Chain A
Amino acid sequence: MAQEEQKQSRRKFLFSLGIIGVIIIAVVTFARDMLLYLFPPKKEKKFHKYLVGKRGEIAVGKAKEIKIGKTPVYVVHLEKEYKVFSGICTHLGCIIRWEEDKGRFFCPCHKGIFDKTGKVIGGPPPRPLDQFRVEEEGDLVFMYVKNKTRGPWA
């Protein structure tokens, strides 16, 4: 009799364990799916080839602003090469501007300053400006910039 009771209680225990387990799995899966709904999937970065212009178009030491979608990039003609910088400040994401007379980039949000090679020369930005790949083909200069699809959600 005593044994039977024990058996029963074990069965009961396993039964409730099963039920609790199933409920936990259901809740976790439900919560997971809700979170997936809230977090958009990470898009793979695609780079697109853009024509910057003819080789001599930008004078040495000068920069040209090109708008890709919403955000600008800056093409700088350094003495030996071309460089393409993202127009987004590495501090907190404001749009930098090229100051022609001073030959530097300036971010109005927290007064971050970058020189024409993208290096931080003043203010709080933690790292140099992000760069994109540049290719020169014959007389033309191309850049590989993140593809920006236009639309309200991108």
Chain B
Amino acid sequence: MSVKNWLKERFPIDYNKFIEINENIFIKEPIPNHMKKWFYCTGATPLILLSLQIVTGILLTFYFVPSPEMAYESVRHITEDVRLGFWIRGLHRWGSNMMIITLLLHMTRVFFTRAYQKPRELNWIIGVVLFLLTLAFSFTGYSLTYNQLSYWATTVGTNMFKQVPFIGHWALVFLRGGEEVTANTLTRFFTIHVGLLPPLILLFVAVHIIILRIHGVSEPEGFEKGHYAFYPHHFYKIIIVTLFLLAFLSTLTVILPPGLGTPANPTVTPFHIKPEWYFFPTYRFLKLVPLSVGIYATAAFLVVMTFWPFIEPLLAKTNESRRRWAFSVGGLTLLITVALTIWETVVL
């Protein structure tokens, strides 16, 4: 008996139907013509990076030890002793940075082509949730290296949760595993980073893609109507992006390997302290305004951003003026974010 028949007997599914479904869902997925432009393919890139993060992340857990005594030391061990450890860690570190960059590009593109309009509002909201989950990944992952900067970023970051009305104190105790940053905090961040967030982000990615597939990719104006099949054109495009990312991230790792910093010291806050670049706007903003203003303004911004697809129609009736609103709000957000980031980068 052939292997195929042997398997078919024990796993009795309609093989032809399976191929048919596969063809309809993947191979012949209709891709609109505008997607031939690279600029419109920023959605798949974070997904490729996420897969890469999962692989490198699992590899890192083979050596990483989440305890105050061992965390820094095990990261040093991975970077300096383990065979090709610096490469895996570098891929993971640069991959996380690249994921945020590509997500920002993807969100900017979706916002300015106004692809979030009815009936795709929910997918924009899920997209925002995915972005926030990625930031949660970055924050918890960054804390695990347990050097001075990451330790104090954890202290400051978790303290910010305290300002949330009503549940603030509970959130703080939940995240820290007590009132202060201790060994509990490190194990919690580790569990959240490797156990809680991955299934959550995969779930949201699945829903994001399912909604996208049901509605089809939204088509911006000014392109010739029409579709082409996912395979082979788009399939190979994704392969090219993947290969490029692997080469690019490896190059970054070799040229700019992530450092170790100095081991965490809970008794001294270093004089020059800065979070990762993607938190620069919030960080600069927090320095400028009183704490409660900072927290509430950030929260308000998040709420408006999340529900923008529902807010926009309330602002104006005609499509033209809605577009003007979106472009002004989006442009202003971009301007302020970039300005605050540059300010924080230049000024110590």
Contacts and interface: CB of A to CB of B under 8 A. Distances in A.
B198 to A, nearest CB: 19
Interface stretch (A4-12, A26-34, A65-73, A77-85): A65-73
A153 B180 CA distance: 9
B267 A40 contact: no
Contact of B156 (A72, A92, A96, A152): A92
Contacts of B266: 70-71
B292 A126 contact: yes
Given A67-B267, A70-B266, A152-B67, A123 B160 contact: no
Contacts of B290: 124, 126
B146 to A, nearest CB: 13
A91 B269 CA distance: 14
Contact of A123 (B68, B272, B287): B287
A107 B269 contact: yes
A110 interface: yes
Nearest to B283: A110
B267 A153 contact: no
B270 interface: yes
B268 A95 contact: yes
B105 to A, nearest CB: 30
Contacts of A97: 269
B102 interface: no
Contacts of A91: 291
B159 A93 contact: yes
A154 interface: yes
B218 interface: no
A121 interface: no
Nearest to A106: B271
A5 B22 CA distance: 53
Contacts of A24: none
Interface residues of B, number: 35
Contact of B267 (A43, A93, A95): A95
Nearest to B272: A108
Interface stretch (B128-136, B170-178, B200-208, B315-323): B170-178
B275 to A, nearest CB: 10
Contact of B182 (A39, A43, A107, A152): A152
B32 interface: no
Interface in B274-294: 283, 286-292, 294
Tell me whether chain A's interface is mostly helix, strand or loop, or mixed: loop
Contact of A40 (B152, B178, B271, B287): B178
Interface string A98-114: 00000000011111000
Contacts of A71: 266-267
A126 B162 CA distance: 13
Nearest to A107: B269
B287 A154 contact: no
B43 to A, nearest CB: 35
Nearest to A87: B267
A95 B173 contact: no
Interface string B149-163: 000100110011000
A70 B269 CA distance: 12
Contacts of B336: none
A123 B288 CA distance: 8
B243 interface: no
B300 interface: no
Contacts of B155: 92-94
Interface of B: 67-69, 152, 155-156, 159-160, 170, 173-174, 177-180, 182-184, 266-273, 283, 286-292, 294
Given A39-B174, A110-B283, A153-B184, 7 more contacts: A42-B179, A70-B267, A93-B159, A108-B269, A110-B287, A152-B183, A154-B182
Q: What are the 8 closest A-B residue pairs judged by CB atoms, nearest first? A: A152-B183, A94-B269, A92-B159, A95-B269, A93-B159, A92-B156, A70-B266, A110-B287
13 contacts: A38-B174, A39-B170, A43-B179, A67-B267, A93-B155, A95-B268, A108-B269, A124-B290, A124-B291, A152-B182, A153-B177, A153-B184, A154-B178
